[in-house]
Structure 1
Amino acid sequence: MTALDAHIVVDRGTFRLDAPLRIDRGEVVALLGPNGAGKTTALRALAGLQPLTGGHITLDGETLDNPDRRLWTPTENRPIGVVFQDYLLFPHLTALDNVAFGPRRHGVDRHTAKREAAQWLHRVGLAGYEKRKPRHLSGGQAQRVALARALAVRPQLLLLDEPLAALDARTRLDTRAELHHHLGDHPGATLLVTHDPLDALVLADRLVIIEDGRIVQEGDAATITARPRTDYVARLVGLNLYRGHADGHSVRIDDLTLTVTDELFGDAFVAFPPAAVALHPNRPDGSPRNTWPATITGLQRHGDNLRVQLDGPIVVAADITPAAAAHLDLAPGRAVWAAVKAAETRAYPS
């Protein structure tokens, strides 16, 4: 059943956010996008920290915002929990009192609020840390206190703003696994705002991609990774992506025609991974491949391989082994031939 039904419209100078968003109860949705896309503005609007210009926000059938009806619900009256990127724990309060703050604000008596707060700290693995203040907590512990504080008000909607961004790599790995467990137990809707694709893929049931204030793609991880629809999404999932015109098993992209296994007609996307791109010192013969001349513009380490940036009729990233790079004597400015088998491509309507 749908918990959040929102159409978030916010005008800020020359920037306009116009994003419909729906989240079911028990569902975790990741809002992904580059810096400046509108992710944080959307979160602030849902939390009541940024007024809407238009649209509406409805949560479990109750309208919280609707500018056309001059309806706006103050932040403190919304059934929403928020975990901010920097956690924003009250520095003068203990972990227990930080978590008890929300229930107390909702009218729960002091004794009950503290008992519930202790239970939440136990649930997030912090039993015994009740008397510690934020300055005596590690980054991962502070994140768990912030999560417990947000969940203690039993929110219908949980908002997570880059919840793992402030953690080091090792702490992030452990905390991500713990967060996945806690989100699975949350009965309400959850919106995770992030620019990290791994956080989104591990934690979310569905991805919503936002660019320049508009949603450009949404779906489960398999759908998004198989068929990216913008350059940002393609980079996110590690694919070369091109838009062209298809005529059967051929797709024309600017001055290059690629042969593909999928049969399509009309505007189409073609995608293939950098690992599918082979490089040759001379034009390869006798192979059922797409080939074109290219010039190397950059080389960098990419895991155990080298990522080679190529210019030519299309701009391409290719991943090759260090041994292959040495054999080809690769260097910026060198001319090579690039090749991709038709079977390595994915073509789909644009």
Structure 2
Amino acid sequence: MTALLDARLVVRRGTFLLDIELRIAPGETVALLGPNGAGKTTALRALAGLAALDDGHLRLDGRDIRDDPPERRPIGVVFQDYLLFPHLTARDNVAFGPRRQGQDRKQAYGVADRWLDRVGLADHGRRKPRHLSGGQAQRVALARALAVDPTLLLLDEPLAALDARTRLETRGELRRHLSAHPGATLLVTHDPLDALVLADRLVIVEQGRVVQEGDAATITARPRTDYVARLVGLNLYRGHGDGHTVTITDGFALTSTDSVDGDAFVAFPPAAVALHPARPDGSPRNTWPAVLADVQRHGDNLRVRLDGPISVAADITPAAAAHLHLEPGRELWVAVKAAETRAYPGDG
């Protein structure tokens, strides 16, 4: 499918260099994820025209907009804090963009009324932002961004300011609106759930570079950095594969039912890790001694972190924790079945 957005964004900020390529097709939502300082916000600002490119290109629907000022770019933006005009009503906020595009007051209000109706706020048009809830303000901000019929919609942590319950409800509404948006959408977020629910494709950025991209199934099945592994909840190690064995460090190796040769990753979920007070008998191919470093609640279970030849996270039930008499410094044995691991090439 032809890309609606075709960009290479190169921005220098002191010693930091952002250099990433982004392509987004019509109707596609791409999530840009990464740790703090990775360059996500810089990328969004460069696309919106709020930060100048030092190099690269920026084409939207085949047109070069690199040198266009923000107000001339066919782009709608929903900022993290929404940035609604506090002195304007919801209706006037949404009508602002169409008015800037040259529509008369009647036309602009007609557009605003249609969008407020679409986001379920037809009866809130006369309210000012201070009289709106967080979820309502988010929907007004989305309506304002979409009212200009943007070729590219930029969403900067659009759900971050909401409480958990409102976030759940609004996420579903936002997904519905994004599915109906014919243009390209870029979602900047640090929340993996927002990305997985709202986006068709994920682009992971670390230290100003794209380290992995693909659909959710690809990313979650084969993470390629520690950040991505934590994002999808996996233990991840890099080493050298020799058939079904991946040597990680100082002779320590993990066995997998997958076969891989050369540079390799091996990954497994914390739920696949079994803990024992003594060396287990029987079938587990991967066993090693470890020392308990930390215990935290993780949903209905406990997330246990252990140090040893490798650092590993394990999820266990409170009943299992009581049986093991867990406390920092406790010596335990770790077991992971070979069938529970995934090994894959490190150079692809």
TM-score range, shorter-chain basis? over 0.9
What is the CA deviation profile of residues 171-208 of structure 1, one whole-angstrom value per residue up to 9, with x for unaligned ones? Answer: 00000000000001100000000000000000000000
Determine the C-alpha separation between the residues in 2 that align with 1:204 and 1:317.
28
What is the deviation of 1:288?
A: 3.4
Whole-Å Cα distance in 1 between the matches of residues 111 and 273 of structure 2? 57
| 1:94 paired to 2:89 | yes
> Deviation of residue 323 (structure 1)?
0.9
Matched residue type, 1:143: Q
Partner of 2:41: 40
Superposed CA deviations along residues 233-291 of structure 1, whole A, max 9, x for unmatched, are 00000000000000001110103111110111001000000010101111112223200
Q: Look up the match of 1:304.
A: 300
1:323 paired to 2:324: no
Q: Amino acid of the residue matched to residue 263 of structure 1? A: S
The answer for the alignment partner of 1:69 in structure 2 is none
- Look up the SS of the partner of 1:125 in the other structure: coil
Identity, % of aligned positions: 78
Which residue number in structure 2 is paired with residue 115 of structure 1? 110
- The correspondence of residues 41-56 of structure 1 with structure 2, limited to 5 A, is 41-56=42-57
Match of 1:68 in 2: none
| Preserved CA contact (<8 Å) 2:284 2:335 | no
Task: Give the counterpart of 1:267 among 263, 269, 272.
Answer: 263
Aligned ranges for residues 171-250 of structure 1 at < 5 Å? 171-250=166-245
Distance 2:284 2:109 in 1: 70
Q: 2:310 aligns with which of 303, 308, 314?
A: 314
In structure 1, stretches of 5+ residues that fail to align are: 66-71
SS at the partner of 1:309?
strand
Secondary structure of the residue aligned to 2:246 is strand
Q: Distance in 2 between matches of 1:263 and 1:234?
A: 20
**C-alpha distance in 2, partners of 1:164/1:128?**
23
Amino acid at match of 1:268: A
Task: Write the distance in 1 (CA, Å) between the matches of 2:3 and 2:324.
Answer: 56
In 1, the alpha carbon distance for the partners of 2:284 and 2:315 equals 20
TM-score by length of 1: 0.98
How far, CA to CA, are the matches of 1:279 and 1:289 in structure 2? Answer: 14
**1:146 maps to which residue?**
141
Deviates more, 1:258-267 or 1:281-290: 281-290
2:340 to 339, 344, 348: 344
Counterpart residue number, 1:161: 156
The residue type paired with residue 139 of structure 1 is G
| Counterparts of 2:300 and 2:84, CA distance in 1 | 41
Query: 2:286 matched to which residue of 1?
Result: 290
Distance (Å, rounded) in 2 between the aligned partners of 1:158 and 1:307:
38
2:74 counterpart of 1:74: no
CA distance in 2, matches of 1:258, 1:133: 60
SS at structure 2 position matched to 1:58: strand
1:119 counterpart SS class? helix
| 8 Å CA contact retained: 2:239, 2:263 | yes
Output the amino acid matched with 1:156. T
Contact 2:155 2:186 in 1 (8 A): yes
Letter in 2 for 1:282: A
Per-residue deviation, 1:116: 1.0
Residue 306 of structure 1 deviates from its aligned partner by 1.1
Runs of 4+, deviation exceeding 3 Å:
none
Q: Which residue of 1 aligns with 2:248?
A: 253
What amino acid is aligned across from residue 300 of structure 1 in structure 2? Q
Q: If the length of structure 2 is used for normalisation, what is the TM-score?
A: 0.98
Q: Where does structure 2 lack aligned partners over 5 or more consecutive residues?
A: none
Any idea what SS the aligned residue of 2:124 has? Answer: coil
Secondary structure at 1:30 match in 2: strand
Between 255-264 and 170-179, report the one with greater CA deviation. 255-264
Asked if structure 1 preserves the Cα contact closer than 8 Å seen for 2:286 and 2:338, the reply is yes
Is residue 150 of structure 2 the alignment partner of residue 135 of structure 1? no
Query: Which amino acid in structure 1 is aligned with residue 56 of structure 2?
Result: G
Amino acid at match of 2:142: L
**What is the aligned counterpart of 1:335 among 327, 331, 335?**
331
When the two chains are superposed, the root-mean-square deviation of aligned CA atoms in Å is: 0.6
Aligned mates of 1:74, 1:328 — CA distance in 2: 63
